Each structure stands twice: as structure tokens, then as C-alpha cells.
Structure 1
């Protein structure tokens, strides 16, 4: 039986996790997915906040387990995060993220949570997980260059006269369809592993190998190309806008799958004590927190991202969302905590430079990067100091 003190601390940790989920929903996962679409006037700010909340909740439940387990178990070696440590880490990170929301600066949530978890873990006597840190830092460093570079190249392609948009947009939609075909969903495949649409289709056709999955992937991509091409023939501008909104929805879903782990990951070690609580319950609760944050706090950050970083049209918005979606799914697949603010801001700036830097605020970007670095260092130092003080008492 769990003693009352441990139970009380666990309840406080759960409340801190819910606050963290709200802060993420209001800031990172709630604001970034539809910011380019809002900037392109394809959807209103309030409607974007409502839709992204629902899709983020779905992503949290269906894709959130890998990042959740990584944040909870893979950042520190030799110790298990206690309920008190989870509370300290989550409150430290949530306060910093919430301050960013209220000030209009998108704090990199993954930086903040990772720093806080590492800080409390080190204060408890744990050892750094250098192998995992190498994976994380590699993705963090490459994201601005890969995301911004792909967004720049895609925006330049859409602006050029070498190929008409009625061919380029369906082609890009087919590429996105191929990625969707290989996303791992919790409801597909064997228990505790998940599966992809392409994998399940290959199994249904009698083959589960790479060639069969490749055929299924190409088939789904071809269907997407045909549908978007037919839509473009009827209404080219409308098809472009609908594709942009579909991309925003996919990014919102991916944000939920990636970001929920930052909120509930520190609670995973507590499941050893409370064995009757399944991981799904944590994912569901975290998804509810993301939903609440998206509905109540995201509009402010959506406005900041859509208007303050770069003036985006539909083409540059599409160019920004495609690499954002792809990078997010890579992070989910490898269980790496990644900041959606870093992903989307890099892509927005890259697509903005495709038009000669039109509307890109360099001053805003400088302060944002400083906020990212500062939040990582501050969260690590504060959480370490507070937890070390508690351990000394």
C-alpha cells in the first residue's frame, strides 16, 4: 500500500504535469501547427486554436508513448525520478514556458523540460545519459538547417516558373501522403508496438517485407496526388488553401504525439509505484491538458508566430509546414524530445527568405534564440538547485 506522503507528492506531481501540458498546449503544440495557415489568411486565429486542440489530443493518445518513455526513463542513468523530483522539474519548466506564452516569445519546450529533468536527475545522484544526449543535440542542431533549408527550397520551387502549381502542389501532397502511410499509430499493429498504414496494407496483401510496404506507400501517395490534382483542376486557389489546412492538421497531430511526452514523461517512473495506472491513462490526461491549453492560451502565440516572424502567403506556408511535419515524425519515431517552436520558426524563416527575406524579423529571431538557450540553462540550474536543496534537508 502506498503511504499518504508518497501519494500526496504524486498528486502534486500530476497537477504539475497537467499545468505543464496546459503550458505546452498554449505555447508550442497549440500555436505552431496552424500559425503559417493563419499567416496566409486560410483560417482564423480562434478556429485554428479549436481545431489544433482536438488534433493535438488525438496525436497525444495515438503517438505519444515513445517520447513519453524517453523523457521519463532515458535522460538520466542510475536513478529513477521520484515524485518530488518530477514535481520540481515540471514546475520549473512549466513556469518558464508559461512566462514565454504571456510575453509572446515561444520558449523551446523540449529544451526547458529536458534541462529540468536532467537537473533534478543529477541532483538525485544520477549520471548523464551521454548517448541519448548525442541523439537529442544532433536533432536540435540540425533542425534549423534541415527544416529551414527544405522550406527555402520548396518555397523557391513554388515561386518559380519551371513547373505550374497545379502539378507541384499535388506532387507535394503525394510526398506528404507517403510519409503518412509510414507513420506508426498505436491502434495499428501488435500491442505495445503500433503499426503503419503501409505495413498493415502490405500484410493484408500477403507480404510484410520492404517491397510490399513500398508498393503500399506508392499506392497511397498516388491516391493523394489524384485527389489533390482533381481538386486543383476545379479550383486551384481553393485546392492550395485546403492542402495548407490539411498540412496544419497533420502538424497539429504530430505536435500532440511529440509534445505530450514533455508534460507526462517525468511521471513514467512513478508507474512502478502505482502499478494499477497504465501509460494510456497518462497519455489521455496529458492530451486533455494540451487540449485545454490550445483552447485557452494558443491564440496569443498563433498571432505572434503568424505575424511577427515573417509575412507568409499560402506558398511559403506550405513550404514551412512540410518539413515541420517530416521532422516531427522523425522525432516521434526515434523517441527524441524536440521543440516544435524550433521546428516551425526555422521553417517559417527559411520560407520567408525564399522571397528575399520578406517580412523576416531578425531582431525577433535573435531574442527567440537567446530565449531558447537561456531556458535550457536556466531550467537545468534552477531544477538542480531546488532538488539539491530538498535532498540536503
Structure 2
């Protein structure tokens, strides 16, 4: 029998989690996926906010479990977060993210939530999870260089006169298609795992295994490339815009799968107390919070990213979204909390420098990086201090 105080505290933690999900939906997961498409005038700000909310909800439910479990149980060793600790961490992180939304600066949600969860966990007497920290820091440090570098190279290729665009764009679409069919989905896998489109098709054809999956992947990638090539022959500009919007949708879906864990991850340890609540219920609740945030608060941040960081055209937008999608899915696969603001801003800047740095605001970037670093340090210190003070009472 769970005592009333624990139930009450858990309810407060759940409300804080919903607030955090709203803040994330209004900030990183709601604003970043379609910002390049809006900057390229391929979609309006309000329509982008509507679509990204729906796709983010789908990603949260279908792909959110791995990052959720990592945030909830792998950031601090030796202790399990209590309902009170989860409430403290979520409130501190949500307030910082919400301040970033209203001020127009993209606070790195992953930095903020990670710092807050580690802070309260250490204050409870937990041990630092150094191996997990190394994984997280490695991805965070590499993201600007890998994402920005790939975006820069892709944008240069799209601007090159030596590579025909009618060949390059369908080829890029085929590569994206190869990634999509190998994404892990909860509905396609076993009860305790995930499965991919390529894997399931290979198994249904009796060609299960690495070779069979590779052949299926190649075949599907070729089909995607040929479809876009045919569309390009009919309407080159229209095909480019449709490809850009498809990329934005994939990034929005990936954002939901990654960012929902930052909102509901601290609640995972409470499932041991409330055993009748499945983790899918947390994913659904977090997805609803992301959806609400995307519809009500995302347009402001979409405008900030689309217009303030770089003047983007369709080519540079495509170059920015391809590495964003790939990095996001890598983070989901390894259960690593990642900042979508860091991913997309790095890619936008990389594609911008391919055009000689035109439209890239260095001052804005400097303030953004300082906001990222400050949010990590501030959330860690404030959450540690708050939890220590509460524990001493």
C-alpha cells in the first residue's frame, strides 16, 4: 500500500514532468525540426508548429523508451530518484528551458535536464556514472563538428557545378531512405525491444541476417532515389521542397523519440512503487506534453532559428537536416540524451559557411553557446543545492 504522502509527491512530479514536456515542445523538439524549412519558405511558421507536434508525439510513443530509461536510471549510480527528487530536478530544468523560450534563446534541454538529474542524484548520495558521462560528453562534443561538417560538405556539393543536382538530390534521398528503413520501432520488434522495416522485410522474405537486411536496405534506398528522380524531372523546385519537408518530418519524429525522455525520464524510478503503471503510459503523457508545447509555444523559437541564425535556401536547409536526422537517430539508438538545438544550430551554421558564411550571426552563436554551457552548470549547481537543503530539513 502506497502512503498518501508518496502519492501526493508523485502527482506533483507528474505535473512537473508535463510542464517540462511542454517547455521542450515549445523549445527544442518543437522549433528545431522545421526551422530550416521555414527559413527556406517551404512552409509557414504556424503550419510547421502544427505538423511537428503530431510527428513529435508519434516519435515519443514509438521511439522514446531508450532515452527515457537512460535519463531515469543511468545518470547516477547507487540511488533511485524519489518523487521529491524528480520534482526538484524537473522544475529547475523546466524553468530554465521556459526562460530560454520566452527570451528567444535556444537553451540546450539535454544539458539542462542532465545537469538537474545528476545534481539531485549526487545530493541524495549517489555515485557519478562516469562511463555514461563519457558517452554523453563524447556525443555532445562531436555533434558540432560532425553535424556541421556533414552539412558543410553536403551544401558545397549541392552548390557545385560539377555534380548535377538532378543526380545528387535523389542520391541523398536514397541515403536518407536507407537510414529510415533501419530505424528501430517499438511496434515492429519484440515486447522488450525494437525492430526495423528492413529487418522485418528481410525476415518475411526468408533472408534474415546481415546480408539479407543489407540487400533489402539497398533495394528500398534505390526505390526512394528513383521516386525522387522521377519527381525532379516533372518539377525540380517542387521536388526539392517536398524532400525538404520530408526531412523536417523525419527530424520532428526523431525529436519526439529523444526529447520525451528528458521530460519523463526522472519518473522512471517511480514505476517500481506504482507497478500498475506501464512505461508506455509515461510515453503517452510525455508525448501529449510535447504536442501541447509545439502547438502553443514553438512558433517563436521557429522564427528565431529560421531567421536569426542564417538565411537559408532549400539546398542549405536540406544540407542541415540530413546530419540532424542521422545524429538524432544515433542518440536514440544508444540511449543518449541529446540537445536538438545543438544539432540543428551546428548544422545550420555548417551549411551557412558553405556559402561563405552569409547570414550566419556570430554574435547570436556566441550567446547561444554561452547559454548551453551556463544551463548545464546552473542546473547542476541549483538542483544540487536545492536537494541538499531539502535533505537537511
CA deviations on 1:224-278 (whole Å, 9 max, x unpaired) are 0111001000000000000000000000000000000000000000000000000
**1:1-393 correspondence runs (5 A):** 1-393=1-393
TM-superposed CA distance for 1:208, in Å, is 1.7
1:141-179 deviation line (CA, Å, top 9, x unaligned): 000000000000000000001111111110000000000
| Cα distance in 1 for residues equivalent to 2:336 and 2:208 | 27
Q: Take 2:190 and 2:89, find their aligned partners in 1: how far apart are those partners? A: 34
After superposition, the C-alpha distances for 1:306-354 in whole angstroms (9 at most, x for unaligned) are 0000000000000000000000000000000000000000000000000
Give the whole-Å Cα distance in 2 for the aligned partners of 1:72 and 1:11.
Answer: 17
Q: Which runs of 5+ in 2 are unaligned?
A: none
Displacement of 1:365 in angstroms is: 0.2
Mapped to 1, the partners of 2:390 and 2:221 lie a distance apart of 55
Taking structure 2 as the reference length, what is the TM-score of the superposition? 1.00
Task: Tell me which moved more, 51-60 or 160-169.
Answer: 160-169
Question: How far off its partner does 1:207 sit?
Answer: 2.3
2:207 & 2:271 partners in 1: Cα distance?
38
RMSD (Å), alpha carbons: 0.4
Which TM-score applies when normalising by structure 1?
1.00
* Deviations, residues 188-216 of structure 1 (Å, cap 9, x unaligned): 02112010001001101112210000001
By how many angstroms is 1:90 displaced?
Answer: 0.2
Gap runs ≥5 in structure 1: none
